[in-house]
């Protein structure tokens, strides 16, 4: 094991507790990795390969964490087909030629790609994070890109985006940018992602909704009060998980998710609430009910259904701007997620570095290529993985468990619909609390640091984008530090990235000029 690898886990300890942070062993208390040999048991070899004991974890905790991550991510198998595809042409997202993707096919390739990439990430990067179709990019494809190109051409752009990211990662440029980020901004990214997760959970549960007015833009529930039973189930789940976490119960999140789901199934059986699109008081995404069919055969017909004809259709400059937008979003969403999640897992050293950084970035780039090649959209690291980290996961074994569950989900899609989004939302809020607690490490007495840190934190949840928060933080850091006489402390690479973000934020007018 390399010295940098050891320092990444030795230099920083997380707070204890079986249900939350797991203390990273110090150099004096570490258990030496088990040697491979003919006499080694399978468990010992597993421990050695994933460095489970070395990171202060154990196999049951990793399995538990992997299951929790899957439960909080499983909604993507249902949501991604609704964003990219449809059950019929009249309710699907049509491309420029009137083409559309079948929801059943999108669901199948979503599970397949997430499963394969998450297992690959766990084995190569040895980090407990799941990969799946990123919600920012799939929405961008459905709302903007396919208004100009076909679905196959849009996925070709995603493949190019992934290849660019792989090259940037393999040449260490992406890693150099990561190292150029000041520690205070890395902490701010973690806190911002925590607020973002909590906000996502509150919105998904209907606890916070759009008011429909310019001011205030959001409100509590409907008309300022909680009025639906699913939102009440969310509140119950949040309290149950919170109490279990506070009492340091092993498997707190897993117990909370399963227990609250059972309550939700019983409530639905009695009250027949149905989905929200049929009943205003119904469930947001999937109805918690026992399925009549358990096994389904996946249709993988979308694999390889991409081409590179977008540049011929819309022109080189317009195509380049679309790829630029995809790369910037993909690039910094993943960097932000890795920063926040590894810090939450206690795997970073004092400089914010963590084990196998380059491998993590390369595999994440491959996920983008795989997502385009299967028409499931770019696969990236999910911040929802923080739920598994909160459950105690610290190694790639948890990712392997999550990936296997995604592969099984292809055949058991009806079962993935039992856990309602409102229950998963409660877990996201709890994990958000854990991540936001790191705000205590930020120093607010220096305003040249406080302003960029604050913008990074608040812009993520307010704009629903990790990349936007990072961009605002980078630009303000470079400008404020420079104009206050601290230009020498700013990495030249950070200047280049800040200029890139300026172009990214102004891409609308720039695309208008090219049009």
pLDDT at 514: 65
pLDDT at 43: 87
pLDDT 10s digits, 108-153? 999 999 999 999 999 999 999 999 998 778 888 987 789 889 999 9
Average per-residue pLDDT in the chain?
86
pLDDT single digits (tens) 348-376: 887 777 888 889 999 999 999 999 999 99
- pLDDT band for position 193 (50/70/90)? confident
Q: Using one digit for the tens of pLDDT, what is the confidence trace for 217-248?
A: 999 988 888 889 999 999 999 999 999 989 98
Two tokens, residue 208: 């916070």
Closest CA relative to residue 321, chosen from 329, 377, 428, 225: 329
Q: Considering Cα of 364, then 368, then 371, then 374, what sign does the dihedral take? A: negative
**pLDDT digits 0-9 by tens, 247-284:** 988 778 889 988 999 999 999 999 999 988 888 889 98
Render pLDDT for 165-192 as a digit per residue (tens, 0 to 9): 999 999 888 888 888 888 899 889 889 9
485-504 confidence digits (pLDDT tens):
998 889 898 999 899 889 88
pTM higher than 0.85: no
For the chain, give every domain's residue range. Answer: 55-442, 443-505
- 207: its two tokens: 């606890």
Is residue 60 predicted with pLDDT exceeding 80? yes
Structure tokens at 409: 């989900």
pLDDT per residue over 397-416, tens digit each? 999 999 999 999 888 877 77
Chain-centroid distance of CA 182 in Å reads 22
Mind giving me the DSSP string for 373-395? HTTS--EEE-GGGHHHHHTT--S
Cβ atoms 54, 7 nearer than 8 A: no
3-state class percentages of the chain: helix first, strand second, coil last, to nearest 5: 65, 5, 30
Q: What is the pLDDT of residue 329?
A: 82
Whether 26 has a pLDDT exceeding 50, the answer reads no
pLDDT of 15 > 80? The answer is: no
Give the per-residue pLDDT at 458.
96
């Amino acid at each position: 094991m390399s010295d940098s690898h050891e320092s990444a886990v030795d230099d920083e300890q997380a707070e204890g507790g079986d249900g939350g942070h797991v203390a990273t062993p110090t150099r004096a208390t570490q258990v030496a990795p088990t040697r491979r040999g003919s006499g080694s048991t399978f468990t010992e070899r597993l421990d050695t390969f994933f460095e489970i004991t070395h990171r202060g974890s154990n196999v049951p905790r990793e399995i538990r964490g992997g299951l929790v991550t899957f439960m909080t991510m499983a909604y993507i198998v249902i949501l991604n087909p609704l964003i990219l595809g449809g059950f019929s042409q009249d309710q699907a997202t049509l491309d420029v030629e009137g083409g559309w993707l079948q929801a059943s096919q999108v669901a199948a390739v979503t599970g397949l790609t997430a499963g394969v990439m998450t297992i690959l990430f766990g084995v190569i990067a040895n980090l407990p994070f799941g990969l799946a179709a990123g919600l920012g990019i799939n929405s961008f494809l459905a709302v903007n890109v396919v208004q100009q190109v076909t679905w196959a051409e849009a996925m070709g752009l995603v493949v190019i985006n992934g290849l660019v990211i792989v090259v940037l990662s393999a040449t260490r440029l992406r890693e150099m940018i990561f190292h150029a980020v000041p520690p205070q901004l890395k902490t701010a990214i973690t806190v911002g992602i925590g607020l973002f997760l909590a906000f996502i959970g509150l919105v998904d549960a209907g606890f916070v909704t759009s008011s429909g007015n310019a001011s205030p833009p959001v409100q509590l529930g409907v008309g300022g009060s909680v009025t639906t039973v699913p939102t009440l189930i969310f509140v119950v789940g949040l309290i149950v998980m919170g109490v279990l976490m506070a009492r340091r119960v092993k498997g707190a999140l897993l117990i909370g998710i399963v227990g609250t789901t059972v309550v939700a199934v019983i409530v639905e059986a009695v009250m027949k609430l149905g989905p929200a699109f049929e009943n205003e008081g119904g469930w947001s995404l999937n109805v918690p009910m026992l399925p009549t069919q358990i096994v389904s055969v996946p249709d993988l017909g979308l694999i390889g259904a991409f081409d590179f004809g977008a540049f011929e259709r819309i022109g080189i400059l317009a195509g380049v701007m679309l790829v630029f937008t995809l790369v910037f979003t993909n690039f910094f969403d993943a960097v932000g997620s890795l920063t926040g999640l590894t810090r939450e897992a206690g795997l970073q050293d004092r400089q914010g570095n963590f084990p196998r950084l380059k491998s993590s970035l390369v595999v994440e780039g491959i996920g983008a290529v795989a997502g385009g090649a299967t028409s499931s959209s770019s696969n990236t690291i999910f911040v929802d993985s923080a739920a598994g980290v909160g459950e105690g996961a610290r190694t790639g074994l948890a990712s392997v468990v999550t990936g296997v569950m995604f592969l099984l989900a292809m055949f058991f899609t009806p079962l993935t619909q039992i856990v309602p989004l409102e229950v998963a939302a409660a877990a996201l809020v709890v994990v958000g609390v854990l991540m936001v607690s790191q705000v205590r490490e930020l120093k607010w007495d220096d305003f040249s640091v406080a302003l960029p840190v604050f913008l990074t934190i608040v812009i993520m949840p307010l704009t629903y984008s990790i990349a936007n928060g990072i961009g605002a933080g980078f630009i303000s850091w470079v400008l404020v530090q420079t104009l206050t006489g601290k230009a020498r402390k700013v990495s030249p690479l950070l200047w280049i990235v800040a200029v890139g973000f300026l172009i990214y934020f102004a891409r609308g007018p720039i695309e208008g000029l090219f049009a």
